[in-house]
Amino acid sequence: MTGEQPVGRISRRNFLGGASATAVLLGTGALNSGQAHALPPELGDPFTLGVASGDPLPDSVVLWTRLAPDPVAADGRGGMPPETFGVRYEVAEDREFGRIVRRGAAEATPELGHSVHPEVDGLRPGREYFYRFRAGRAVSPVGRTRTAPARGARVDRLRFALASCQAWVGGRYAAYRTMAEDDLDFVVHVGDYIYEGGGTRTLADFRLLHARYKGSEDLRAAHAAFAFVTTFDDHEVDNNWTGDVPQDDTPSFLELRANAFQAYYEHLPLRIGARPDGADMRLYRRFTFGDLLELTVLDTRQYRTDQADGRFIAPRDTDALDGDRTMTGAKQERWLLDGLAGSRARWNAIGQQTIMAFYDYDTSESVSINHDQWDGYAAARDRLLGFVAERRPSNVVVLSGDWHSSWVNDLKADFTDPGSETLATEFVGTSISSGCGWRDSVAAALGANPHVKFFDGDFRGYTRCTVTPAKWRTDYRVVNDPSDPAGPAFTLASFAVADGVAGARRLDTGDGISGEVTDADGGATLASVAVEARTPNGTVAGRGSTDPDGRYRLLVTPGDYEVVATAGSYRTASRAVTVPADGVAQVDLTLQRLTGAAAGIGKRLASSLAQASTEDIVIENGMLAMVVAAVTEDGQLRGTTRGKVLDMAIRGRADQLDWINVGYASATEPAGTEAWQQTTVRYDDVRVERPGPGSAAVRASGSATDFPALRVSTTYRIEPEQPWIVAESTFTNTGSAPITSWIGDSMDHDGAGQRSGVPGHGTITTPYGSPRHYEPTEPWIGQTGTDPQTYGLIYDDGYPGLTAQATGNWVLSQLRVDIPPAGSTTFTRRIVAVDNAGAIDPFAVLSELYRASR
């Protein structure tokens, strides 16, 4: 609908300023109802959520804003009265609005949270435009956008960014802040724009979450700088949802999905075609940029088959290979393949959510996959890649997100045969801010996946693609700290794909200090070493860790640094370096193994799962290292983390633990799904009792929350050359009444493929929820994952009645004790970390250690 349209009580003259422009009243679905009011100034600035543009066509873009003077008002209405208001917009060729080319109006209705999505057409192709909104007397910030080049026109260059996964980090997004200063034609966002949390379910809940994210000035700046093409993944709705199936037993999930879809639409620059109809929303669509690029954007959530296995990385469920499985649904798949067949563009990009390349997380004979990604839908991948093999569409490049890490993958005709043809190229963009706890699980299996040309899980950022007829170039632009309000972005690595040759090759080594860390004893390269660059005044300017090849990268600007490498079971090493003006330096380091035993602060274990800081206490020998929390808190043990085990690894390996809760004292028997989260012992004093080197000890003392008279103290003791740390807890009854308590420990392994072990019951893989009781045939419990490191607690003999509870995710020991007035009970166990060498029974090693000590 075009034509000058008066809206409500606003006079046409005021509204359009008399210009000879075309007004387009679109996007709300309620075309000129005649009910729109002028926004009263006393409501305050209605443009707190910023402005945006999106879905560029050669003659048109969609603009967006949402009136929300009180964006986080609890009712989700943004501080707006339940009435319809008029919003005007102007589009100009210049930032000063001297050459206005379009003016128009839209109605902001309460039904759509007072968002507007006017589609402005009649624009010229391949051109930059500026836009702004007015509501009442308020004027919005100015946004910039760009139309697509004309269909079929010759285009020499396009540059865009790929973004995903922007977990809330407090308001600043370093990746968006730096992206907004980049030179881009548009941005593709492939999902996890928000992260829903337990209890996000009503429209108000989802609106508030979106409003909070738009509270970030950096996100608003990126939207104001470039047109966005967005599609959702899982967290805009529910973790790992598929079709009409939620992850957990969410009641009336379709109602939740409808609310999530509506809030998504209300907060993004989407055209009217994407407006949800209840729980349905058509989001897959296609964009053409002259003769150079066709961009297909998929929805791989709404129409897909449910995951074959609820656990995200696990031995491959045979159902994952079922031929009927679909990622896109049959209709979208047909549309995708027809589009590829009909495309005339030199490059055919497919923007979608999860990793498409095969990835086997298991380095042994068996195969472990992420069931939520295309590996869980192998037949759907085969159909797509089979089509590429047969029909040969020009230069297929897949753009993915979801996995919070940077990858370059060859998409092979046969992933099990490295010699088979590479049919397409996949670039997986890292997250804007979300963490990568599985970094070490991926890194450990890289050798078994030769089609993966590059992987980095350390850095957050965005991915910049520069497309020319002869070459596609991808730069991984990353930041040191995802919430940093000031630091620059660096190039981590650059890759290129040549026209007509699928598969990327590396162009350069990227910015900053890089190098290799080796073991002084034998010269082997060392993985999982924490490496830092410190400025002369001691500030940490860059931080990273070594990969499986012992290589690290620190992103720093030119200047003088001290490069410091620390690892459990090794002495800390450092070297001075000057990073020259070209920004690249090489520093190799060699680490000496620790002799004797040690306990102290100043070290951290490098691991994507490690939580401890350098202020927590490391107790270690040349075989293993363990961190006892002195300052760091874990969200699941809030207030009771101190004195408990946060990180632990054997020499040369990465920590796989969430925590070991050493010592609880509960008045009731632990029960239920959350039985493991025992917070009944609170250590208020944690100190190094003996620093080494003959032996080292750490002591934690405190009390039990269930029993005011019960004092608890635990001593962790390590000797040289032993694969364990002895933990001795003494429960002392200082009162005058007898105490009956359940005591024990719980353990939470967080690595990929996590599973528990209880002697006599084998490997326990039951899913989270409904833990079972077990009678162990020997007094130990353990956990492991795809990493061949087994963790265990081996109890001294003499605790008859010791039992266990477990699921695949956690294991807990329990013992009922009676402690008389002025009496005490001592509970002694060895905390073990050992290499199980990928044994069929990864827990046999605990049994051997137990038996050897009898």
- Interhelix angle 203-214/253-267, rounded to 10 degrees, is 30
| One-character DSSP codes across 609-638 | T----TTSEEEEESSEEEEE-SS---GGGT
Residues 6+ apart with CB under 8 A from 433: 165, 166, 167, 168, 169, 173, 175, 460, 482, 483
Nearer of residues 192 and 745 to Fe ion, judged by Cβ? 192
Shortest Å distance, C-beta 89 to Fe ion: 33
Length of the chain, please? Answer: 854
Q: Binding segment for Fe ion among 84-92, 160-168, 414-422, 505-513 (CB under 5 A)?
A: 160-168
Q: Binding segment for Fe ion among 433-441, 634-642, 681-689, 754-762 (CB under 5 A)?
A: 433-441
Shortest Å distance, C-beta 356 to Fe ion: 16
Nearer of residues 261 and 438 to Fe ion, judged by Cβ? 438
Q: Binding segment for Fe ion among 13-21, 242-250, 426-434, 459-467 (CB under 5 A)?
A: 426-434
Q: Which residues pair with 427 in a beta bridge?
A: 399, 408
The Cα 307–Cα 376 span in angstroms is 7
Nearer of residues 302 and 661 to Fe ion, judged by Cβ? 302
Q: Binding segment for Fe ion among 185-193, 251-259, 406-414, 715-723 (CB under 5 A)?
A: 185-193
Q: Binding segment for Fe ion among 172-180, 305-313, 428-436, 569-577 (CB under 5 A)?
A: 428-436
| One-character DSSP codes across 10-57 | S-HHHHHTT-----B--SSS----S--BPPPGGG--S-TT-EEEEEEE
Shortest Å distance, C-beta 404 to Fe ion: 6
User: Is 824 within 8 Å of 797 (Cβ atoms)?
Assistant: no
Nearer of residues 195 and 724 to Fe ion, judged by Cβ? 195
Nearest to 347 by CA among 186, 467, 486: 467
Total interface residues for Fe ion by CB under 5 A: 3
Q: Which amino acid is at 347?
A: W
DSSP single-letter state for residue 277: B
| Cis bond upstream, residue 693 (ω within 30) | yes
The Cα 93–Cα 817 span in angstroms is 79
User: Is 471 within 8 Å of 461 (Cβ atoms)?
Assistant: no
Nearer of residues 232 and 827 to Fe ion, judged by Cβ? 232
Nearer of residues 376 and 692 to Fe ion, judged by Cβ? 376
Q: Binding segment for Fe ion among 161-169, 422-430, 499-507, 780-788 (CB under 5 A)?
A: 161-169
Nearer of residues 239 and 468 to Fe ion, judged by Cβ? 239
Regarding 483 and contact with Fe ion (CB under 5 A), the answer is no
Nearer of residues 168 and 335 to Fe ion, judged by Cβ? 168
User: Is 509 within 8 Å of 475 (Cβ atoms)?
Assistant: no
The Cα 526–Cα 552 span in angstroms is 10
Shortest Å distance, C-beta 336 to Fe ion: 23
Sheet containing 422-428: order of strands: 285-289, 293-297, 347-351, 396-400, 422-428, 406-412, 452-456
Regarding 434 and contact with Fe ion (CB under 5 A), the answer is yes
Shortest Å distance, C-beta 166 to Fe ion: 8
Nearer of residues 402 and 620 to Fe ion, judged by Cβ? 402
Shortest Å distance, C-beta 353 to Fe ion: 9
Sheet containing 724-733: order of strands: 681-691, 696-704, 710-718, 724-733, 824-835, 789-795, 780-784, 755-757, 763-764
Shortest Å distance, C-beta 192 to Fe ion: 4
User: Is 223 within 8 Å of 50 (Cβ atoms)?
Assistant: yes
Shortest Å distance, C-beta 267 to Fe ion: 17
Nearer of residues 434 and 741 to Fe ion, judged by Cβ? 434
Regarding 492 and contact with Fe ion (CB under 5 A), the answer is no
Nearer of residues 439 and 603 to Fe ion, judged by Cβ? 439
Shortest Å distance, C-beta 445 to Fe ion: 20
Nearer of residues 134 and 301 to Fe ion, judged by Cβ? 301
Nearer of residues 395 and 434 to Fe ion, judged by Cβ? 434
Token pair, residue 614, equals 């350098």
Mask for 162-181, x = binds Fe ion (CB under 5 A): ---x----------------
Shortest Å distance, C-beta 238 to Fe ion: 13
Shortest Å distance, C-beta 433 to Fe ion: 9
Shortest Å distance, C-beta 165 to Fe ion: 3
Nearer of residues 165 and 624 to Fe ion, judged by Cβ? 165
Q: Binding segment for Fe ion among 192-200, 294-302, 706-714, 740-748 (CB under 5 A)?
A: 192-200
Nearer of residues 374 and 724 to Fe ion, judged by Cβ? 374
Q: Binding segment for Fe ion among 187-195, 208-216, 542-550, 619-627 (CB under 5 A)?
A: 187-195
The Cα 285–Cα 273 span in angstroms is 10
Shortest Å distance, C-beta 428 to Fe ion: 12
Shortest Å distance, C-beta 270 to Fe ion: 20
Shortest Å distance, C-beta 191 to Fe ion: 7
Q: Binding segment for Fe ion among 21-29, 181-189, 198-206, 432-440 (CB under 5 A)?
A: 432-440
The Cα 828–Cα 812 span in angstroms is 15
Q: Binding segment for Fe ion among 42-50, 159-167, 461-469, 729-737 (CB under 5 A)?
A: 159-167
Residues 6+ apart with CB under 8 A from 768: 673, 807, 808, 809
The Cα 739–Cα 724 span in angstroms is 31
Shortest Å distance, C-beta 460 to Fe ion: 11
Q: Binding segment for Fe ion among 62-70, 430-438, 700-708, 820-828 (CB under 5 A)?
A: 430-438
Residues 6+ apart with CB under 8 A from 627: 604, 605, 610, 612, 616, 617, 618, 619, 645, 646, 647, 648
Q: Which of 192, 236, 375, 655 touches Fe ion (CB under 5 A)? A: 192
Task: Assign 758 to helix, strand or coil.
Answer: coil
The Cα 83–Cα 70 span in angstroms is 16
* 849 φ, ψ (degrees, to nearest 5): -65, -40
Nearer of residues 165 and 697 to Fe ion, judged by Cβ? 165
The Cα 173–Cα 358 span in angstroms is 31
- Please give the radius of gyration of the chain, using alpha carbons only, rounded to the nearest integer: 29
Where on the chain is the footprint of Fe ion (CB under 5 A)?
165, 192, 434
